[in-house]
Amino acid sequence: MSDKIQRVALITGASGGIGRASAERLAADGFSVVVHYAGGKDRAEQAAQAVRDAGGRAVVAAGDVADEDAMAEVFDLAEREFGGIDVLVHAAGVMPTAPIAETPLDTFDHIQRVNVRGTFVVDQLAARRLRAGGAIINLSSSLTRLQTPTYGAYAASKGAVEAMTLILARELRGRDITVNAVAPGPTATPLFFAGKSQETIDRLASLTPMGRLGEPADAAEVIAFLAGPGRWMNGQVLYVNGGAA
């Protein structure tokens, strides 16, 4: 594929988990990828190197997703390196957990800053700068529907992500840019495992008829569909959770 027609994906939170799986999956489809991270530079470099080792093109970029100037620089870098951006996969986020009655308000504010403001900032930039034929893919969570205790602040933030996703899809009428959200269920990522006992992990895995946790690659397959052939899928939330209930 020539440089003139090679598509470009910017993936936030691509140093691990679903973000990294998406970077590797889209690279396998021929995308050049921008591996964004906020923390964990070494892991981001490893993700980019994995893409290069497989024959793809990748660069690494750092930035606080809730900082509009920092993220504008990430978009600038993508355009300098690869000539433009076709797909945004917004996988960056935080997930502290606690019962609502016990959640410190500063923790609540941090979750909303990263997950809600961060999505607004990054989607706003993408809406202004993606090329025609592009796709914006936000990461939500099946927790917006599962009503799992201790996830109140996080699920609230992802409910906002879904609302922004559906509205932006309609605001981009005539631009040939799709906007969708992927809402994974319990998925075997470092973010998921943090602070959980084996008993809790096993219980959450049992929620699906398939009796296992999702893998990052499960979500990445759906993201690749939305980034590529899924052009008639627009303004939707896709629950990628193996039937969790």
- Give me the catalytic one of 37, 151, 154, 239: 154
Report the alpha-carbon distance of residue 192 to residue 105 in Å, rounded. 22
User: Rounded to 10 degrees, what is the CA torsion of 16, 19, 23, 25?
Assistant: 100
Given a contact cutoff of 8 angstroms between Cβ atoms, the answer to whether 144 and 162 are in contact is yes
Report the alpha-carbon distance of residue 181 to residue 89 in Å, rounded. 9
Report the alpha-carbon distance of residue 135 to residue 8 in Å, rounded. 11
Token digits of residue 39: 């923390």
154 is catalytic: yes
Report the alpha-carbon distance of residue 103 to residue 110 in Å, rounded. 11
Sheet of 237-240, strand order: 58-62, 32-37, 8-12, 87-90, 135-139, 178-184, 237-240
Amino acid at 136: I
CA angle, 178 then 69 then 39, to 5°: 85
Query: Could you give the angle at which helices 216-227 and 17-28 cross, rounded to 10 degrees?
Result: 50
Report the alpha-carbon distance of residue 143 to residue 123 in Å, rounded. 22
> What positions carry a catalytic annotation?
154
